[in-house]
Amino acid sequence: MSAFVAVLLIASTAFAIYSLAPARSSTQSTSTSTTAAPIYAKLDTSLGVIEIELFNGSAPKTVTNFVRLAQSGFYNNLVWHRVVQGFVIQTGDPNTRNGGGDRATWGQGGSAQTVPLEIDPNLHNYAGYVGMARSSDPNSGSSQFYINLSSSPQNTALDGKYTVFGKVISGMDVVLAIGNVPVDPSNDQPLTNVYLISVTLQPTP
C-alpha cells in the first residue's frame, strides 16, 4: 500500500499506510503566524484545473514548504498515485514522476525537508479540503498531499492528526473526476495515470 497518509481505525478495521522513505531533515520552527497574505495555487492536471486557497495563517510552515516545492518545479508531472473513491486523492511523490519508476515504490517518496504537524481546530477534513500526508510520525509531512472527496466520518477522523492547509475554491468537479477513475484495488493506483502537470502560485484566485 502507498505511504504518507492516515492511520485510521474505522469500526474494527485498521486502515494504515506508512512511509518507507528514509528520515529527512526537519524545517520545524517555534515561530507561528496568525495573519498572512493569501496565497492561491493552480493545479493543472491531465483532467482539468483545480484552484486552491492556501491557509498561510493557520499552517505557515506547511504552506511555506508547499510553495517552495511548487516554485522549484518539484510537483511537475507527478501521478495522482492514490485514489480511494469517496475518501481522498493523493499526489506529491517524486517516485511517480512521468509515470515511471517502480510502481511498488509509489507512495513512499518525498522531498528532502519535513514539516511539523500544524493543527487549527477550526479546520476540518471536509470535502475539498487539502491535507498534508505523512508517515506514522506526526512531524513527518513532506511533499505528498491529499484532497478530501467527502465530509464522511472516515474523512473527519483525520482531524487533529493531519495538517489541513488549504481548500479547493474551483475545480471540485476535476477532483471528483480523479476520484472516480478505475483503480487497482490492491494498491489504489489508477489503472490509467492521471497527472499533476504543474502547480502555479498566485496572489489572487
Model confidence at 6: pLDDT above 50: no
Is 162 contained in some domain?
Answer: yes
Q: Tens digits of per-residue pLDDT, 113-143? A: 999 999 999 999 999 999 999 999 999 999 9
Residues ≥6 apart with Cβ < 8 Å to 142: 4, 21, 24, 65, 92, 110, 111, 113, 114, 115, 134
Q: How many CA atoms lie within 13 A of 113 on its CB side?
A: 15
CATH number at residue 175: 2.40.100.10
Model confidence at 31: pLDDT above 70: no
Rounded mean pLDDT of 93-114? 96
Model confidence at 4: pLDDT above 50: no
Total domains, the chain = 1
Q: 124: domain range?
A: 7-17+36-202
Rounded mean pLDDT of 76-91? 98
Is 2 contained in some domain?
Answer: no
Percent above pLDDT 90 for the chain: 80
Quick one: how far is CA 189 from the chain centroid? Answer: 15
Longest CA–CA span in the chain (Å) reads 45
Please work out, in degrees rounded to the nearest 5, the angle formed at the alpha carbon of residue 62 by the alpha carbons of 42 and 167: 45
Is 23 contained in some domain?
Answer: no
Is 73 contained in some domain?
Answer: yes
Is 31 contained in some domain?
Answer: no
Is 112 contained in some domain?
Answer: yes
| Integer Rg of the chain from CA | 15
